[in-house]
Amino acid sequence: MTARIAQPIRAVSSGVSSPALTERVRLFMRLPSRPLPAVLTGTLTLVASLVVATPVVAQAQAGAIDWQSCTEPKEGMQCATIKVPLDWSRPKGRTIQIGLARRKATGPASTRIGTALMVPGGPGTSGVAVLARDPQFTAAVQERFDVVTFDPRGINTSTQIKCATALVDKVMNTPMPQSNAAFESLKLANKQLSENCRKLSGPLYDHMDNLHVVQDMDAIRAALGENKITQIGYSYGTVRVQQYAAMFPDRVRASVADGNVDHSIETITEMMDSATAPAEKNFLQFAAWCDKTADCALYGRGTKKIFGELRERAKKGTLKDPLNGQPLDVYGLSRIALGVNMPELWKDVASTFKSLYDGGAAMPKPKAAPKAKAGKTQNFTRQASFCQDWNFRIKQYSELRTLLSRLAAKYPNMMWNDVHRAAVLDCAGYPGKATNPQAPLKIVGAPPMVMVGNVNEYASVYAWSKNAAKQAGATLVTYEGYGHTVYPRTVAYGPSDCVNDLIDDYLINLRVPARGSSCAGIEVPGTGGPQPPRS
């Protein structure tokens, strides 16, 4: 559930921190520029069915949006806001603001098909900020569609969820609990954060689940004057795309879900087992590459052996983080090892492991992050969104210890997948209920949906895409490569023309890809880097 959650991923290479690693991991996860969260940050893209009351259906009101220049002007982009009910079960009650952004179709008006709604992930990602950086579609689609996105309720230009920065920092910077006392302390911190956010944000805090976001999306469709919407969701945004198709099947023209999570997963054990498996596989692929590649920093030394010794030192408390001199536990080491999931970083990762193993050169101590001033608040939605969409609640430390022990025994190198830290820890002690709990996805009467799944994906893992596609009756396009989401370009290696051609043909011409469609990966280990947006 898409990318990190508590502490930044750091790398050391030949005694200095790798400048590429943190930013590339952030781009890989399609995250805003800030310290990496731990997933599902992410995490993550979630697929769900609807067990809810009959939804309110917004009626089309062409021209209801007053598009203006954005507060931070961006060439070719306009911004606006609309009002929606705070609580969709009370459509005539209090309202909140939803922020929108648009890039108009680049082709002639005579060829315009309609609006393509880009649905952001996270939870917590600003669609407006993403669209300002990158149109998120190929040039061919941009010619035929106005590209519109939004800030999901609680985020950025929408009415915000506010929380005390000191409490957010405390939760996000808490290391993996390894004692009952530490776990109880985390539960208390989660409870205090939730209560504080609710106090500062009011009733909006308890209406942050994706079922509310889906109805906000229909209000956007209506305000745009579109009878049917073309939508594409990335990562956590696929929950919204899929639930929209389930709730409003007759309002959909076409749906694409890129980087899926299976919202029918019943337990944390099931989620973490399926999420850690590809991370372990990618570690083994990295190790095999390093052992046969002369310019890998661990060439000739036995990559698995070196990492195994690092892991044992971390368990004993004798492994030191060269950046701050503090002990690095096995979960901190696993967080650093997340780079094995990105082949363009394999050289950096190997150099990091070598530096850790050899003791690292003296490194400048980073400036300590300033303590949050009393009364300082920030926009933070992850806990509210995730804990209202999932009923994962670890109540006792013994449950966490059992989970971690099982993962370590089954996946002895990575031990667990830190990307999904939020799924495991964020809702322990959360004083609220899941209002959109996981359940099998059931879509009836909607046009065919197309999903994209990445074989070596470790955030929205391939197994989740396969199961979500099966439940939805969707066509799954398989990308046999790495990274988090594929369309319209991989983060490090640029576009997969194979994937883009299939998705473009579907979005523009409504031609559904053939069942079993598969595209070769384009990654070359040890090379590559973040690609600029295509014109």
- Please give the DSSP secondary-structure letter assigned to residue 84: E
Q: What angle do CA 347, 348, 352 make, to 5 degrees?
A: 120
Same domain, 428 and 383: yes
Same domain, 314 and 352: yes
Whether 258 and 485 have beta carbons less than 8 Å apart is answered as yes
Quote the percentage of the chain above a pLDDT of 70: 84
Q: Which of 331, 481, 374, 514 is nearest to 28 (CA)?
A: 481
Is there a domain that residue 295 lies in?
yes
Residue 304 CA to residue 310 CA, distance in Å, equals 10
Is there a domain that residue 44 lies in?
no
Single out the residue in 438, 459, 494 at which a domain terminates.
438
Same domain, 176 and 117: no
Structure tokens at 504: 């473009």
Structure tokens at 229: 């919407």
Structure tokens at 33: 């520029």
Q: What is the pLDDT along the chain (535 residues), one digit of tens a residue?
A: 433 222 222 222 223 234 344 443 443 333 333 333 232 233 232 222 223 345 665 654 555 799 999 988 788 999 999 999 999 999 999 999 999 999 999 999 999 999 999 999 989 999 999 999 988 999 999 999 999 999 999 999 999 999 999 999 999 999 999 999 999 999 999 999 999 999 999 999 999 999 999 999 999 999 999 999 999 999 999 999 999 999 999 999 999 999 998 899 999 999 999 999 999 999 999 999 999 999 999 999 999 999 999 999 999 999 988 777 888 999 999 999 999 999 999 999 999 999 999 986 444 444 555 666 778 999 999 999 999 999 999 999 999 999 999 999 999 999 999 999 999 999 999 999 999 999 999 999 999 999 999 999 999 999 999 999 999 999 999 999 999 999 999 878 889 999 999 999 999 999 999 999 999 999 999 886 555 443 3
**What's 118's domain CATH number?**
3.40.50.1820
Whether 478 and 518 have beta carbons less than 8 Å apart is answered as yes
Same domain, 356 and 493: no
Distances from the Cα of 461 to the Cα of 16, 67, 418, 478, angstroms: 32, 38, 14, 12
Structure tokens at 204: 């909006």
Q: Is the dihedral of CA 441, 209, 488, 255 positive or negative?
A: positive
Is there a domain that residue 21 lies in?
no
Amino acid letter, residue 180: N
Residue with tokens 């030394």: 301
Is there a domain that residue 50 lies in?
no
Structure tokens at 453: 């799944």
Same domain, 79 and 200: no
Judge if the upstream peptide bond of residue 488 is cis by omega within 30 degrees of 0: yes
Residue 236 CA to residue 42 CA, distance in Å, equals 7
Same domain, 220 and 317: no
For residue 517, with 0-12 CB atoms within 10 Å meaning exposed, 13-18 middle and 19 or more buried, which class applies? Answer: middle
Same domain, 345 and 284: yes
Q: What is the pLDDT of residues 374-418, one digit of tens each?
A: 789 999 999 999 999 999 999 999 999 999 999 999 999 999 999
Tell me the backbone φ, ψ of residue 482, rounded to 5 degrees: -125, 175
Q: Which residues pair with 212 in a beta bridge?
A: none
Same domain, 312 and 401: yes
Domain total for the chain?
2
Is there a domain that residue 179 lies in?
yes
Residue 328 CA to residue 115 CA, distance in Å, equals 49
Residue with tokens 């906000």: 216
Task: Print the domain residue range for 241.
Answer: 68-158+208-264+440-519
DSSP structure string for 356-396: HHHT----PPPPPPPPPPTT-EEE--HHHHHHHH------S
Residue with tokens 């069915």: 49
Same domain, 417 and 333: yes
Q: What is the pLDDT of residue 23?
A: 41
Q: Is the dihedral of CA 107, 113, 115, 119 positive or negative?
A: negative
Same domain, 274 and 390: yes
Q: Which of 404, 373, 283, 262 is nearest to 336 (CA)?
A: 283
Single out the residue in 438, 454, 485 at which a domain terminates.
438
Q: Which of 279, 304, 309 is nearest to 290 (CA)?
A: 304
Structure tokens at 355: 């530096």
Residue 392 CA to residue 381 CA, distance in Å, equals 17
Q: Provide the CA 285 distance to its chain's centre, in angstroms.
A: 24
Residue 154 CA to residue 140 CA, distance in Å, equals 32
Is there a domain that residue 126 lies in?
yes
Same domain, 224 and 188: no
Q: Which residues contact 264 (CB under 8 A, 6 or more apart)?
A: 47, 48, 49, 438, 439, 440, 441, 467, 471
Number of helices followed by number of strands (H, E) in the chain: 17, 14
Helix (H) or strand (E) run with residue 28 in it: helix 19-28
Q: What is the pLDDT of residue 20?
A: 41
Structure tokens at 411: 């996946």
Structure tokens at 497: 């023309």
Single out the residue in 399, 423, 438 at which a domain terminates.
438
Q: Which residues contact 532 (CB under 8 A, 6 or more apart)?
A: none
Q: What is the pLDDT of residue 454?
A: 96
Is there a domain that residue 428 lies in?
yes
Same domain, 434 and 467: no
Whether 41 and 2 have beta carbons less than 8 Å apart is answered as yes
Q: Provide the CA 155 distance to its chain's centre, in angstroms.
A: 15
Residue with tokens 């062409």: 62
Within 202-324, where are the H helices?
A: 210-224, 237-247, 268-291, 303-316
Distances from the Cα of 284 to the Cα of 280, 302, 353, 356, 456, angstroms: 6, 12, 15, 19, 12
Structure tokens at 345: 């970083």
Q: What is the pLDDT of residues 127-139, one digit of tens each?
A: 999 999 988 999 9
